[in-house]
């Protein structure tokens, strides 16, 4: 059931540090109860601040009633919200009174003169002391840039995104809390230059903040006076559409048809009345037929084709072939008829080159292992098919091997044999997800699987030595992107 309510933020029960997804509690004044809201907030969450929330109300057996978040907007003035965030002893009513008395610069004025808070009799002595202590601990530069960001976003930015933009302005990149203890922020001039880069071209936020949506950047750009036909808008949507599309398909490369359709779709307003099928027809006609044969029937379709032409003009300026990649200019790489984002292309090429090197390197004949494999087949209670035997031999004797097959074809039995022949102590079992790791551990004798991410992190930090002379088995490798 769709629900819309005004609520005051109370606390978070859980928050994913990497993407901001979490479980949050809001006090619903109309119902006079706490609401559990689940999702990724698009605005900063400040204790006691007031928000307008819409979502789908559901009952989940394990967790009870919750609201799956669709949208959330900060109702309070950003400056008032910031006072509540930075200063102990200030609630919404006190923050409103101080804002009325001191205006937009109230926080900066209080930081300049913390003792001035004692002039306001509506604040208790105890809370005055708390506020003074908070004011003396505030980093003025952090506050100044935070105020700018919240004002620019009209308060509609999450805590995680706010933190990442502050890091970018001060350090040029995202920085851990541990590193901040030793790193010095860049000079004020550099900070202002980075902030100007965002305000002059909000589309930079897409590459700066993970999961930042093009339409959000677009909204900020329109407010900043950037035209819908501006080149920077078209240049931003192409790599964004490619990243979104590759995430959906699991492929690292796209055809021209896929890119043009995805990018033009993002550029069109939400009120656009063109179906996906019709979009594909228009793209195909645009790419493969002469202009005289373009068959546009409505204003939306004509605008769609205009955007296709603009995409064609811009994509040429940011795309290079495999032999002409230029650092700092190339964003997209064209390989034959396929298009890659630069980083995807470099990573794909790195993997392909290493696989080719493994295939080309000579294989040492291991008669002892060959005999061990054949002896295992003879003594095993399992009757392996010829295909299973070939897969087991390849896995143990070749530099690299892929074991594939549909459900029920014996992949699990083959994997069991591979681990048993090689010896669990000589095998590293990996999987893309925790559940897949649990499954592969359960079906192998003495097997202990880890996720790929955890294994790589442990090797990188030295928690475990870099594997040598080990058989590495990656389960469900087709899921790895």
DSSP code string of 122-178:
TS-HHHHHHHHHHHHH--HHHHHHHHHHHHHTTT---HHHHHHHHHHHHHSS---HH
How many other C-beta atoms can be found within 10 angstroms of the C-beta atom of residue 176? Answer: 9
Tokens linked to 396: 């143990």
Q: Which residue has the tokens 């698009």?
A: 42
Name beta bridge partners: 450: 430
pLDDT of residue 398: 87
Q: How far apart are CA 25 and CA 37, in angstroms?
A: 6
Identify the CA nearest to 188 among candidates 221, 144, 150. Answer: 144
pLDDT of residue 469: 67
How many other C-beta atoms can be found within 10 angstroms of the C-beta atom of residue 354? Answer: 11
pLDDT of residue 64: 85
Identify the CA nearest to 98 among candidates 68, 61, 134, 128. Answer: 128
pLDDT of residue 109: 85
Q: How far apart are CA 469 and CA 79, in angstroms?
A: 60
State residue 318 phi and psi, 5-degree precision.
-120, 10
Contact between residue 319 and residue 333 where contact means Cβ atoms under 8 Å apart: yes
Within 13 A of 171's CA, how many CA atoms are on the CB side? 17
Tokens linked to 410: 């014996």
Contacts 24+ apart (CB under 8 A), 171-176: none
Identify the CA nearest to 319 among candidates 238, 258, 250, 263. Answer: 238
**What's the chain's Rg over C-alpha atoms?**
29
Q: How far apart are CA 237 and CA 232, in angstroms?
A: 9
Tokens linked to 422: 């090689």
Contact between residue 263 and residue 239 where contact means Cβ atoms under 8 Å apart: no
Identify the CA nearest to 27 among candidates 57, 43, 49, 58. Answer: 49
List the pLDDT tens digit at each of the 481 positions of the chain.
888 999 988 888 988 866 778 899 998 878 788 999 999 887 778 777 788 899 999 888 888 889 999 888 877 677 777 787 778 888 778 888 888 888 877 887 888 888 999 999 999 999 999 989 888 877 667 777 887 887 788 767 777 788 889 889 998 888 887 787 788 888 888 989 999 999 999 999 998 887 788 988 998 899 889 999 999 999 999 999 999 999 888 888 999 999 999 999 999 987 888 888 989 999 999 998 876 667 778 899 999 999 999 999 999 888 888 887 776 667 899 988 899 999 999 999 998 998 888 888 887 778 888 899 999 998 888 888 999 999 999 988 888 888 888 888 888 888 888 888 888 888 888 988 888 888 888 777 666 888 888 888 888 888 888 777 678 888 888 777 6
Contact between residue 169 and residue 148 where contact means Cβ atoms under 8 Å apart: no
Q: How far apart are CA 83 and CA 462, in angstroms?
A: 44
Q: Which helix (H) or strand (E) holds 140?
A: helix 140-152
pLDDT of residue 139: 64
* CA distances for 370 relative to 247, 394, 469, angstroms: 42, 11, 17
Q: Which residue has the tokens 């804002």?
A: 99
State residue 12 phi and psi, 5-degree precision.
-110, 140
| Residue-by-residue DSSP string for 225-265 | T--TT-HHHHHHHHHHHHHHHHHHH--SEE-HHHHHHHHHH
Q: Which residue has the tokens 């920085």?
A: 175
Tokens linked to 307: 């955007």
In this structure, what DSSP letter does residue 60 have? E
Q: How far apart are CA 212 and CA 243, in angstroms?
A: 12
In this structure, what DSSP letter does residue 465 have? P
Name beta bridge partners: 14: 23
pLDDT of residue 310: 95
pLDDT of residue 265: 92
């Amino acid at each position: 059931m769709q629900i819309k309510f005004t609520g005051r933020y109370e606390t978070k029960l859980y928050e994913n540090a990497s993407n901001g997804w979490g479980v949050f509690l809001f006090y619903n004044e109309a119902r006079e109860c706490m609401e559990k809201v689940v999702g990724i907030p698009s605005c900063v969450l400040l204790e006691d601040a007031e928000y307008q929330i819409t979502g789908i109300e559901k009952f989940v057996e394990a967790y009870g009633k919750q609201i799956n978040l669709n949208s959330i907007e900060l109702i309070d003035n950003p400056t008032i919200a910031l006072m509540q965030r930075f200063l102990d002893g200030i609630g919404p009513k006190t923050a409103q009174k101080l804002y009325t008395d001191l205006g937009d610069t109230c926080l900066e004025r209080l930081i300049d003169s913390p003792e001035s808070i004692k002039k306001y009799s509506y604040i208790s002595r105890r809370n005055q002391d708390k506020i003074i202590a908070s004011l003396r601990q505030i980093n003025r530069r952090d506050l100044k840039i935070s105020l700018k960001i919240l004002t620019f976003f009209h308060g509609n930015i999450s805590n995680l995104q706010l933190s990442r933009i502050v890091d970018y302005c001060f350090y040029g990149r995202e920085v851990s809390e541990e590193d901040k203890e030793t790193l010095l922020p860049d000079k004020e001039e550099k900070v202002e230059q980075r902030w100007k880069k965002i305000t002059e071209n909000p589309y930079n936020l897409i590459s700066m903040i993970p999961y930042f949506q093009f339409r959000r950047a677009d909204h900020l750009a329109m407010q900043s006076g950037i035209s819908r036909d501006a080149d920077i808008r078209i240049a931003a949507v192409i790599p964004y559409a490619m990243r979104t599309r590759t995430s959906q398909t699991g492929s690292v490369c796209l055809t021209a048809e896929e890119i043009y359709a995805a990018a033009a779709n993002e550029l069109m307003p939400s009120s656009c009345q063109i179906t996906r099928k019709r979009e594909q027809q228009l793209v195909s006609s645009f790419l493969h037929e002469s202009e005289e044969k373009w068959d546009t029937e409505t204003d939306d379709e004509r605008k769609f084709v205009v955007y296709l032409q603009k995409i064609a003009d811009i994509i040429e300026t940011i795309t290079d072939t495999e032999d002409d990649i230029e650092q700092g200019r190339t964003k997209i790489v064209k390989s034959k008829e396929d298009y890659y984002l630069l980083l995807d292309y470099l990573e794909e090429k790195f993997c392909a080159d290493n696989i080719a090197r493994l295939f080309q390197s000579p294989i040492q004949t291991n008669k002892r292992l060959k005999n061990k494999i054949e002896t295992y087949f003879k003594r095993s209670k399992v009757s392996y098919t010829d295909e299973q035997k070939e897969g087991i031999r390849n896995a143990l004797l070749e530099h690299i091997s892929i074991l594939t097959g549909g459900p029920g074809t014996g992949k699990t039995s083959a994997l069991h044999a591979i681990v048993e022949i090689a010896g669990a102590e000589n095998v590293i079992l990996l999987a893309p997800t925790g559940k897949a790791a649990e499954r592969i551990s359960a079906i192998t004798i003495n097997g202990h699987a880890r996720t790929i991410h955890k294994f790589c992190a442990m090797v990188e930090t030295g928690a475990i030595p870099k594997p040598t002379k080990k058989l590495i088995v990656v389960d469900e490798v087709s899921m790895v992107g």
